[in-house]
Every structure is written in structure tokens, then in C-alpha cells.
């Protein structure tokens, strides 16, 4: 069914990693136990579901990935808006955001209209949204409300849509439409998250930003980013890059992802919550899971587009 050998290897790798993680998690549960292990096992369970959905979407080609990421955008924006200080007057603007802006953005990605998909939300939605909100006649905290909704659209829709856009890149001598580049990005960015978590739990001593996220430590950061870079370099055969380029890309992906996690943590901290939602057992909400992806995707897309 799958002709692409490299794609098959990537998927086997994902499945193999999950099997190893599941066996390790269950062994730890029986031998050590405790709340941390239970949380880790809940996360692994959710990883199976997320990986299955992601791989299934990739196999259906561009359409499946577009639909999957459009849904992720909706779920993420839903969690973002819930925690935002929107008011009654923003209702119509929000309805437009969910049911017009999100589909439009992903359709533009799908028809490969790069010129418009890259400016729709930053320029035109930026203007239209403010105009729609002002029509409600409610001026109380106007700029704060408009800016927050715009920020949510940029983060949850615009940035996320760069991930499936990778499948539509035109690269000499490389078939991006197979989804391998998208898989590469997602594997490196999520592996970086997981590896930072693991290194932090094992060796973490010195906190990077205690005021924002008590769980982020220098040990976790260095160990996780270094391992993710090595992992990405080791996956060069699935990309249009040579091993060095793949390592450099992975390093940037991991760094951008780290910044994303920190920024979203600051938002949660400000709102007084631990997670954006509860949809994914052990992980929190969708936005908690894709916070690093939404920072890494545009950067990775543009670097690949300009240099390859």
C-alpha cells in the first residue's frame, strides 16, 4: 500500500518507539508506581491515539493533513478563546473566526496560494476582525479584546497551518507531498518536548524560568535539545537535507519549540491555570500539546522554502 520506503521506516520508527515506551511504562508501573508514572502512562496512551490520527491523516495525502490540522486549529482556538477576556460584543467576530477564517486559511494552503495564505490572517483578518468587533458598539477594553482574538488566530490558526503547508512545497528532487517533511517536523518537535521532560525528570536541578514554568530546567533543556538535534540528524534520509543540514534544522526546530512552550506557559500562568484544556489525558489540552509546534512550523517552512 505504501510505496515510499522512507515513509514506511518513519512510521515503523514511531510505532516501535511507542511499543518500547508502553512496555517501559507498564514495567515502571508494576515496579515503582506512583502519580508521576501514572501520568506518564496516561501520556503514552494519548500518544498512541495522536500518532494513529496523525499517521492516518498523512497517508490520505494532503487532504487528510489539511483536515486534521484545521480541526486542531479549531480545538486550539477554542481553548485559547475560553481563557481570553472576550465579551458579549465579540460573539460574531468569534463565529467568523471559527467558521470562516479557519476553513479559508486551510483552503488557501490546500490550493497552494502562498501569496494569499501568508497574508490572509496577518493583514486582512486583522483589519476585518477589528471592524466586525467595532460594529458591536462595545468599546470597553476594545483594543485588548481585538488584540487577544488576533493573537489567538495568529497562534492557533496561522502558525499551525504552516505544518500541513509543508506537504505542498516544491523541492528539487524530493517529493514533499508524501508527508515525510511534515512527519520530520512533528517527530523532532514532539521528541524534543518529550526528551526535555525526560532529561528534566532525571537530572533537572537548575530552573530556567521559575516564574513561568517550574518544570523547565537547564539540564532538561540542554539534554532534550541535544538529543532532538541528534535524532533529527539521524533522520536526514527522509528529508531533502544532508545530515549536517538536518541537524541544524532540528536544532532550530527544538529551540523554536522551546520558546513556544515558554510563551504559552506565560499565558497560562497569567490566567491562573495549569493546562489549556483536558482533552488529552495526561497532556492537558490540544494547545498544551502543540505549543511548540506552532512556533517551529513557520520557521521550518520558510527555511526550507528559501534554501531548498
Partner 1 sequence: MTGRAVSALARVIAGGYVRWDAPPSANGARVYFANHTSHLDFVLLWSYLPTHLRRRTRPVAARDYWEKGPLRRYLAGHVFRALLIDRAGPEARRAVDQMAHGVAAGDSLILFPEGTRGAGDAIAPFKAGLYHLCELHPGLELVPVSMENLNRVLPKGEFIPVPMVSRVIFGESLRLEDGEPKDEFLARAREAIEALREDR
Binding residues (CB under 8 A) for partner 1: these are 74-75, 77-79, 81-82, 86, 88, 91-92, 94-95, 98-99, 277-278, 285
* Closest to partner 1 by CB, 94 or 280: 94
Q: How far is the CB of 96 from partner 1 (least distance, A)?
A: 9
* Closest to partner 1 by CB, 205 or 274: 274
Lookup: cell for 163: 505544518
Q: How far is the CB of 72 from partner 1 (least distance, A)?
A: 13
* Closest to partner 1 by CB, 5 or 91: 91
Selection from 240, 223, 222 nearest residue 185 by Cα: 240
* Closest to partner 1 by CB, 81 or 185: 81
Q: How far is the CB of 71 from partner 1 (least distance, A)?
A: 10
Q: How far apart are CA 294 and CA 35, in angstroms?
A: 29
Q: How far is the CB of 69 from partner 1 (least distance, A)?
A: 16
* Closest to partner 1 by CB, 74 or 168: 74
* Closest to partner 1 by CB, 179 or 285: 285
Q: How far is the CB of 88 from partner 1 (least distance, A)?
A: 6
Q: How far is the CB of 2 from partner 1 (least distance, A)?
A: 31
Residues 6+ apart with CB under 8 A from 76: 155, 156, 160, 276, 285, 286, 287, 290, 294
DSSP string of the chain, one letter each residue? ----HHHHHHHHHHHHHHHHHHHHHHHHHHHT-SHHHHHHHHHHHHHHHHHHHHHHHHHT-HHHHHHHHHHHHHHHHHHHHHTS---GGGHHHHHHIIIIIHHHHHHHHHTT-HHHHTTIIIIIIHHHHHHHHHHTT--TTHHHHHHHHHHHHIIIIIIHHHHHHGGG--BTTB-GGGSHHHHHHHHHHHHHHHHHHHHHHHH--SBS-TTT-TT-BHHHHHHHHHHHHHHHHHTGGGSSS-HHHHHHHHHHHHHHHHHHHHHHHHHHHHHT-S-S-SSBTTTBSHHHHHHHHHHHHHHHHHHHHHH-
* Closest to partner 1 by CB, 69 or 308: 69
Q: How far is the CB of 53 from partner 1 (least distance, A)?
A: 15
Selection from 296, 290, 292 nearest residue 252 by Cα: 296
Q: How far is the CB of 167 from partner 1 (least distance, A)?
A: 26
* Closest to partner 1 by CB, 277 or 298: 277
Amino acid at each position: 500500500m505504501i510505496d515510499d520506503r522512507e515513509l514506511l521506516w518513519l512510521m515503523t520508527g514511531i510505532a516501535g518507539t511507542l511499543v518500547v515506551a508502553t512496555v517501559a511504562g507498564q514495567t515502571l508501573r508494576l515496579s515503582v508506581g506512583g502519580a508521576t508514572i501514572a501520568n506518564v502512562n496516561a501520556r503514552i496512551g494519548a500518544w498512541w491515539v495522536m500518532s494513529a490520527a496523525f499517521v492516518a491523516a498523512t497517508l490520505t495525502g494532503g487532504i487528510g493533513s489539511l483536515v486534521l490540522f484545521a480541526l486542531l486549529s479549531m480545538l486550539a482556538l477554542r481553548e485559547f478563546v475560553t481563557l481570553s477576556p472576550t465579551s458579549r460584543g465579540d460573539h460574531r467576530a468569534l463565529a467568523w473566526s471559527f467558521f470562516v477564517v479557519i476553513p479559508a486559511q486551510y483552503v488557501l494552503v490546500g490550493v497552494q496560494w502562498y501569496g494569499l495564505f501568508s497574508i490572509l490572517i496577518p493583514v486582512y483578518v486583522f483589519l476585518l476582525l477589528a471592524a466586525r468587533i467595532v460594529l458591536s458598539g462595545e468599546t470597553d477594553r476594545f483594543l485588548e479584546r481585538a488584540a487577544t482574538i488576533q493573537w489567538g488566530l495568529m497562534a492557533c490558526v496561522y502558525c499551525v497551518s504552516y505544518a500541513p503547508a509543508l506537504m505542498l512545497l516544491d523541492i528539487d528532487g524530493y517529493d514533499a507531498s508524501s508527508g515525510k517533511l511534515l512527519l520530520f517536523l512533528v517527530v523532532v518537535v514532539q521528541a524534543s518536548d518529550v526528551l526535555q521532560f525526560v532529561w528534566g525528570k532525571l537530572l533537572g536541578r537548575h530552573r530556567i524560568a521559575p516564574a513561568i514554568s517550574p518544570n523547565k530546567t537547564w539540564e532538561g533543556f540542554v539534554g532534550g535539545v541535544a538529543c532532538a538535534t541528534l535524532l533529527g540528524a539521524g533522520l536526514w534520509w527522509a528529508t531533502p537535507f544532508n545530515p549536517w543540514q538536518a541537524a541544524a534544522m532540528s536544532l532550530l526546530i527544538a529551540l523554536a519549540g522551546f520558546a513556544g512552550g515558554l510563551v504559552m506557559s506565560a499565558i497560562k500562568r497569567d490566567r491562573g491555570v495549569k493546562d489549556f484544556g483536558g482533552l488529552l489525558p495526561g497532556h492537558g489540552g490540544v494547545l498544551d500539546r502543540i505549543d511548540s509546534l506552532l512556533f517551529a512550523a513557520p520557521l521550518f517552512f520558510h527555511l526550507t522554502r528559501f534554501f531548498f
